[in-house]
Chain A
Amino acid sequence: MNIHLALGRLAFAALTLLSASAFAQTKAVPAAKAATVTVAPPQVVKVAFVDPLSGPFAGTGSSLLRHFQMMAELVSAQELAGPGIRFEIVPFDNKASPQETLTVLRQIVDRGIRYVAQGNGSGVALALVDAIEKHNERNPAQSIVFLNYAAVDPDLTNSKCSFWHFRFDANTDMKMEALTTYIQGRPEVKNVYLINQNYSHGQQVSRVAKEMLARKRPDIKVVGDDLHPLGQVRDFSPYIAKMRSANADTVITGNWGPDLALLVRAARDAGLKAQFYTYYAGTSGTPTAMGAAGEDRVRMVSYWHPNIAPGYPYEQVYLDYKKRFNEEWFTVASFTSLAVLAEGIKRAGSTDPLKVAYAMEGVKLNAPHGAIEMRAADHQLLQPLWISSWTRVGGPNRHDIEKTGFTWKTEAAYATDAASPPTTCQMKRPPRTP
């Protein structure tokens, strides 16, 4: 009996330890190794990383945290902001909730951090922009700059644009513009079916798709337009059956995460031959879930993929990241946002948020995927876009994605200008000296 008791206690201790180490792993921040030889003490610019690090979206959030941590090391090592200026990422868990984000923002202010990076969820981004606007107005001495690396709601750089907000992803309009231009040249597309997650992003994709298709290809019939709840559908086969009876040859979707992977697999299982045009088929985990199911069936519009050109700059960064973390370096905005911030600091000759924000306007750089520009009018990054298809690894398409044996092959490339629709933003700028 005593042995049993002891065994039981041991088992529990082991479980507790294991779960504790899991906890530690999510919170652990690998210390950036800064080999400083400068005489003056290095200046550290802290960037708060605010995204879900627990809960269902923790996988996405923690992968992006690693993106940012490695890019901070890179930007620091290259001294893009000037000699001795180092970047440090401070992670905050917002549990994917706008409410939680506002609480976290208070902590960020209290800890004296002036730069915030966020991306998962336009709902969170909208709440954050609103809170930062108010905060900066009341506390100009402690202004906060928002680096939005993935929230794609067009409103953020149009009707709700803010001087303090900078977006480094291409927004829904830009991506749809490229996607529909591509479809324009493909006469086999006749019946389009729209399926999206029922929240601001999915609704935008559905609306913009209908609008642009009507303009560019009025002959195309939209044979379906479904909105389903975010992250709750486990079985997409009924939707697939509906697509089949609607004779859909093309599906356009802004879905991401499991909502996309399950959709594609259900299509394959049911033998639906339609082409899927997606926004997020490249994000972490989705390629694995898709696997061979996506072959010749899935296309993606994105501002980057690992095979954009053989020997492009930063191909080594992609490989290094992959080797170090055993996952894909997909969100290049983790680099562009820090690089543009660094350039702003360099031009301003200061880390003061107001000066840096002004200096970031109109910054032009050479990024891993080509020439980029931070448009001053609305703080939207202008960058090239690609349409790619999910193909077997081979030839110039050499980077195996998530060990699936498949990769992205360029179908069409759109230069920065072609991928940049105008903005309606009426930017209100604060006085240059508070």
Chain B
Amino acid sequence: MLEAALSQTLYGLSYGLLLFMLASGLTLIFSMMGVLNFAHASFYMLGAYFGYQFSVWMGFWPALLISPALLFIIGAAVERWGLRRVHQWGHVPELLFTFGLSYIIVELVQVIWGRTAVAYRVPAELDGPVAWLQGLGITFPQYRLFMMAVAVGMLAALWLGLARTRLGLVIQAALAHPQQVEALGHNVPRVFMLVFGTGAALAGLAGVVGGNAFVTEPAMAGTVGAIVFVVIVVGGLGSLAGAFIASVLIGLLESFGKVSDLSGARVLGWLGMSVAPDHALQPLLALSLSQVAPVLPYLLLVLVLIVRPKGLLGTREG
């Protein structure tokens, strides 16, 4: 029983950390530039496809480096020649721009790689369960552990970059007081370009790592897109730490929720009550937690918006 709970925790954590890789880029872009990037999940998908393509050509490890680099260039280009021009008309055109971009990317991917899944595989070195965990009676894939390590490494690098480097300080300053920073002689548009590129690169990294753990197909952007927005709203828009907590929370919620047979009828059973099989509420009470598990993150979203609109660690209202 303990083993089962431990392995569920590990699975939840690894999924949560992947979500965090995605959410960090999105929340970074939002906090720096005030742009809610709808194309973010499409960058994730592009990362997965690049990861697949470069692993076919040169192997997984070069792909792990090249794809985020490519995504950085694409992200920076999108900011430089797209968003920056749209920016002057306000936030709604920006939103619409990224929204349209997400569709274009999905179509492009379908033109290049087709409409069905591509054969993107976990590298042979990381195939198979973790030996020392198996000794404890837990079968956990090595690749999942690698995914977690990449996410944690990324979090550390991001935090160091933002808090401990000169560039990080400029970025933070540009976020709060763009005019003053510009007056001090810093090129604020270039900082924005850098931030957007970095956000895209982070999504690309998540794509390379997540694409082979799950499935690389044109629908992947759509399936993951909604949940990432839940993460950043629950965590608090613009808060990196909040996104981290929310990602792990949602990962665990999904992992444990999926396998729980808990239902309303059961809880009533523990309380010594029973429901007649023909009772009007019976279908609702018979629903087990596992059946409603995928709705739980959205339920959390609604609850957070009602109780604490700024999110867990957010600083601004709404």
> Which A positions have Cβ atoms within 8 angstroms of B?
4, 7-8, 11, 15, 18-19, 21-23, 25, 56, 58-59, 62-63, 198, 226-229, 231-235, 237-239, 241-242, 244-245, 258, 261-262, 265, 269-272, 284-286, 288-289, 291, 327, 403-404
Specify which of B4, B139, B143, B294 is in contact with A233 (CB 8 Å cutoff). B294
Which of A25, A56, A228, A289 is the one whose CB lies under 8 Å from B215?
A: A289
- Per-residue interface assignment for chain B, residues 100 to 122, with 1 indicating a CB less than 8 Å from any chain A CB and 0 otherwise: 00011001101100111111011
CB-defined A-B contacts under 8 Å, sample of 15: A18-B107, A19-B104, A19-B107, A59-B218, A227-B291, A235-B254, A238-B254, A242-B258, A244-B4, A245-B1, A258-B215, A265-B215, A269-B143, A285-B217, A289-B217
Supposing A59-B217, A270-B141 touch, asked if A288 and B116 sit within 8 A by C-beta, the answer is yes
Which residue of B107, B222, B258 is within 8 Å of A239 (Cβ)? B258
What chain B residues lie within 8 Å of A262 (beta carbons)?
Answer: 214-215
Task: Please determine whether A288 and B294 come into contact, CB atoms closer than 8 angstroms.
Answer: no
**A258-B11 in contact (CB<8A):** no
Considering the complex, give the chain A residue whose CB is closest to the CB of B12.
A238
Q: Is the CB of A269 within 8 A of B141?
A: yes
CB distance from A363 to the nearest CB of B (A): 33
**What is the bound-complex CA distance between A237 and B214, given in angstroms?**
10
**Cβ–Cβ contact B81 & A8, under 8 A:** yes
**B7 smallest CB distance to A (angstroms):** 5
Q: How far is the CA of A228 from the CA of B140 in the complex (A)?
A: 22
Q: Is the beta-carbon distance between B117 and A22 smaller than 8 angstroms?
A: no
**Contact status B223-A239, CB under 8 Å:** no
Taking the nearest CB of chain B, how far is it from the CB of A205, in angstroms?
A: 16
- Whether B117 pairs with A56 at a CB distance below 8 angstroms is no
The contact of A258 among B128, B139, B213, B217, by CB within 8 Å, is B217
1/0 per residue, CB under 8 A from A, across B1-44: the answer is 10110011001100100000000000000000000000000000
Q: How far is the CA of A376 from the CA of B259 in the complex (A)?
A: 45
The answer to the question of B99 belonging to the interface, with a C-beta cut-off of 8 Å to chain A, is no
Q: Closest residue to A259 on the B side, CB-wise?
A: B215
- Chain A: which residue is nearest B85 at the CB level? A8
Q: Please report the C-alpha to C-alpha distance between residue A404 and residue B117 in the assembled complex, in whole angstroms.
A: 12
Smallest beta-carbon distance A60→chain B, Å: 8
Is there an interface contact between A238 and B119, defined as CB atoms closer than 8 Å?
A: no
User: Within 8 Å of chain A (Cβ to Cβ): is B224?
Assistant: yes
Shortest beta-carbon distance, A262 to chain B, in Å? Answer: 6
Task: Answer yes or no: B129 CB below 8 A from chain A CBs.
Answer: yes
Q: List chain A residues, Cβ under 8 A from B15.
A: 234-235, 237
The residue from B115, B117, B139, B214 contacting A235, defined by CB atoms under 8 A apart: B214
Using A8-B85, A237-B255 as known contacts, list a sample of 19 further A-B pairs with CB atoms less than 8 Å apart, ordered by residue number in A: A19-B108, A23-B107, A56-B222, A56-B223, A59-B115, A59-B219, A228-B293, A234-B223, A235-B15, A237-B11, A238-B11, A238-B255, A241-B4, A245-B1, A261-B215, A269-B144, A285-B117, A288-B116, A291-B121
A20 CB to nearest B CB, Å: 9
In the complex, are the beta carbons of A271 and B294 less than 8 A apart?
A: no
Chain B interface main SS type:
helix
Please, how many residues of chain B have a CB less than 8 angstroms from a CB on the other chain?
A: 52
The 5 A-B residue pairs with the shortest CB-CB distance, nearest first, are: A285-B116, A59-B115, A22-B107, A8-B81, A269-B141
Residues of B contacting A241 with CB < 8 Å? 4, 7-8, 11, 259
| Max count, chain B CB within 10 A of own CB: residue among A7, A25, A235, A242 | A235
Q: What distance in Å separates the Cβ of A330 from its nearest Cβ neighbour in chain B?
A: 12
In the bound complex, residues from chain B placing their C-beta under 8 Å from that of A239 are: 258-259
Select one of A8, A19, A232, A291 contacting B294, CB under 8 A: A232
Contacting pair B139 A228 (CB below 8 A): no
Tell me, in angstroms, the Cα distance from A8 to B12 when the chains sit together. Answer: 43
- Report the bound CA distance from A285 to B220 in whole Å: 14
Q: By the criterion CB–CB under 8 Å, are B81 and A4 in contact?
A: yes
- CA A261 – CA B215 in complex, angstroms? 8
**CB neighbours of B107 from chain A (8 A):** 18-19, 22-23
In the complex, A11 Cα to B12 Cα: how many Å? 41
Q: A238 with B8: in contact, given A22-B110, A291-B121 (CB under 8 Å)?
A: yes
Chain B, range 38-87, C-beta contacts under 8 Å to A? 77, 81-82, 85
The answer, yes or no, to whether B290 is at the interface (CB within 8 Å) is yes
Closest-CB distance, B13 to chain A (whole angstroms)? 11
In angstroms, Cα B140 to Cα A75, docked, is 52
CB distance from B170 to the nearest CB of A (A): 24
Whether B117 contacts A270 by the Cβ 8 Å rule is no
Min distance, Cβ A269 to any Cβ of chain B, angstroms: 4
* B81 and A261 form a contact (CB under 8 A): no
Tell me whether B116 and A231 are in contact (CB under 8 A).
no
CB distance from B82 to the nearest CB of A (A): 8
B290 contacts which of A25, A226, A245, A404 (Cβ < 8 Å)? A226
Minimum CB distance partner of A227 in chain B:
B291
Chain B 274-294 per-residue mask, 1 if CB under 8 angstroms from chain A, else 0? 000000000000000011011
Contacts of B254 in A (CB 8 A): 235, 238
Known: A21-B111, A22-B110, A23-B107. A404 touches B119 (CB 8 A): yes
Once the chains bind, are A234 and B218 in contact (CB under 8 Å)?
A: no
- Report the separation of the CA atoms of residues A285 and B223 in the bound assembly, to the nearest whole angstrom: 17
Note all chain A residues with C-beta closer than 8 A to B259: 238-239, 241-242
- Chain A residue with the shortest CB-CB distance to B121: A291
CA distance A272 to B141 in the complex (A): 11
Could you give, for residues 221-248 of chain B, a 1 whenever the CB lies within 8 Å of some chain A CB and a 0 otherwise?
Answer: 0111000000000000000000000000
Cβ B219 vs Cβ A258 within 8 A: yes
B163-181 CB mask vs A (1 if < 8 Å, else 0) is 0000000000000000000
Taking the closest CB of chain B, its distance from the CB of A235, in whole angstroms, is 5
> Which residues of chain A have C-beta atoms less than 8 A from B122's C-beta?
269
Neighbouring A residues of B104 by C-beta, 8 Å = 15, 18-19
Q: Which residues of A contact B213 (CB under 8 A)?
A: 269
A57's closest neighbor in chain B, by CB?
B219
Q: Which residues of B contact A286 (CB under 8 A)?
A: 117
Bound complex: CA A313 to CA B224 (Å): 44
Counting chain B CB atoms within 10 Å of each CB, the highest count among A11, A234, A285 belongs to: A234
